[in-house]
């Protein structure tokens, strides 16, 4: 980010703070970004039409309190898209840090754990992170192109490509709406009007197997997931990046997978790894196949969609803890 772009964001923070605004009361107009908003539009266009991944670097997070950084990040989000809830607890801004949860449990969520996260997607159009603190060791971000992996499977294993376009059963990980079944069917690969989309969270698929009424995974389905995992870890299909404080990472979930190595924190609480996360709907998103309707509800391009409904009757701007 240029010095002038950073200065513009800092001026917007000062403006919002001087008016006593919070994330709950902030509007796009309260966080003026005349130049940076054009940069964020370029980010959106590149996410959908080119790379699927964009990174902005260099914001001086060390100058600000966590609450000011929440306000800043929420303001950035207002200029990028519409945030959707990341859990049944209604967190529109999520805290990515170690809450000692188990990602492999029936309701495990990766962003509250220090464990390794295998390649997966999130349940939204665009996931974005801002890095406040990095780990003492580990926590490397890895990204792979699901579109390139799709093409490789089409070239080398067309029999498994067919399997990946057929439904798998997924666990809601206890994020389902009240009264809904705890699992649902959805393919890993879909296409709509020529637009590809992949959704893949292997732990959620395997977790659904604990329900006796869910069909057992076939050997072909398991082999297809094994192949995705293998290709995700081949350097020709992706990259790794070491986060630095002040990094913003934006990913289009429909064309990328992401992963993270396990991390170890510093012993001092104030130095522990801490990222903020938003799940966004964006105005230039792609149309989605009917099989994605259970999760996304509105499949039309540009719709506000995805995420998990709040069960607690409110929406919040931090992860207050985790019911492990």
Q: What is the pLDDT of residues 214-256, one digit of tens each?
A: 999 999 999 999 999 999 999 999 999 999 999 999 999 999 9
Q: How far apart are CA 280 and CA 299, in angstroms?
A: 14
- The greatest distance separating any two alpha carbons of the chain, rounded to the nearest whole angstrom, comes to 61
**Residue 323 maps to a domain:** no
Listed residue (307, 253, 320) closest to 112, CA to CA: 320
**Per-residue pLDDT tens over the stretch 111-131:** 666 778 899 999 999 999 999
Percentage of the chain modeled with pLDDT above 90? 78
Domain that holds residue 148: 1-316
Q: Locate 7 and state its tokens.
A: 């200065």
pLDDT band at 101 (very low <50, low <70, confident <90, very high): low
| pLDDT at residue 323 is higher than 50 | no
pLDDT at residue number 322: 45
pLDDT at residue number 143: 98
Residue corresponding to tokens 């959805």: 186
**Residue 56 maps to a domain:** yes
pLDDT band at 168 (very low <50, low <70, confident <90, very high): very high
| 164 DSSP 8-state letter | H
> How many domains does one find in the chain?
1
**Residue 36 maps to a domain:** yes
| pLDDT at residue 202 is higher than 80 | yes
**Residue 324 maps to a domain:** no
CATH of the domain at 25: 3.60.130.10
**Residue 310 maps to a domain:** yes
**Residue 321 maps to a domain:** no
| Overall residue count recorded for the chain in this entry | 324
Listed residue (253, 227, 263) closest to 116, CA to CA: 263
Give the alpha-carbon dihedral of 278, 86, 324, 115, to 10 degrees.
-50
Rounded to an integer, the average pLDDT of 155-176 is: 95
Q: Locate 143 and state its tokens.
A: 């990204």
pLDDT band at 199 (very low <50, low <70, confident <90, very high): very high
pLDDT band at 107 (very low <50, low <70, confident <90, very high): low
């Amino acid at each position: 980010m240029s010095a002038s772009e950073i200065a513009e964001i800092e001026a917007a923070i000062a403006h919002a703070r001087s008016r006593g605004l919070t994330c709950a009361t902030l509007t796009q107009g309260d966080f003026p970004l005349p130049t940076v908003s054009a940069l964020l539009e370029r980010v959106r266009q590149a996410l959908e039409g080119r790379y699927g991944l964009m990174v902005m670097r260099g914001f001086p997070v060390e100058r600000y309190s966590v609450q000011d950084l929440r306000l800043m990040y929420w303001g950035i989000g207002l200029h990028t898209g519409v945030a959707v809830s990341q859990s049944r607890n209604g967190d529109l801004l999520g805290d990515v840090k170690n809450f000692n949860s188990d990602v492999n449990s029936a309701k495990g969520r990766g962003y509250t754990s220090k464990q390794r996260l295998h390649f997966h997607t999130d349940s939204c159009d665009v996931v974005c992170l801002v890095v406040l603190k990095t780990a003492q060791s580990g926590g490397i971000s890895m990204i792979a192109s699901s579109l390139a992996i799709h093409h490789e499977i089409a070239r080398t294993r067309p029999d498994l490509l067919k399997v990946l376009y057929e439904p798998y059963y997924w666990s809601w990980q206890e994020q389902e709406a009240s009264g809904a079944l705890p699992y649902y069917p959805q393919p890993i690969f879909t296409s709509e009007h020529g637009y590809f989309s992949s959704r893949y969270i292997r732990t959620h698929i395997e977790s659904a197997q604990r329900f006796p009424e869910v069909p057992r995974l076939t050997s072909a389905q398991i082999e297809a997931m094994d192949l995705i995992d293998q290709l995700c870890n081949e350097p020709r299909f992706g990259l790794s990046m070491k986060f630095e404080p002040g990094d913003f990472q934006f990913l289009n979930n429909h064309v990328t997978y992401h992963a993270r190595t396990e991390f170890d924190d510093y012993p001092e609480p104030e130095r522990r790894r801490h990222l903020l996360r938003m799940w966004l709907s964006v105005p230039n998103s792609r149309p989605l196949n009917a099989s994605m309707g259970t999760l996304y509800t509105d499949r039309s391009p540009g719709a506000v969609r995805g995420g998990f409904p709040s069960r607690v009757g409110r929406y919040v701007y931090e992860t207050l803890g985790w019911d492990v």
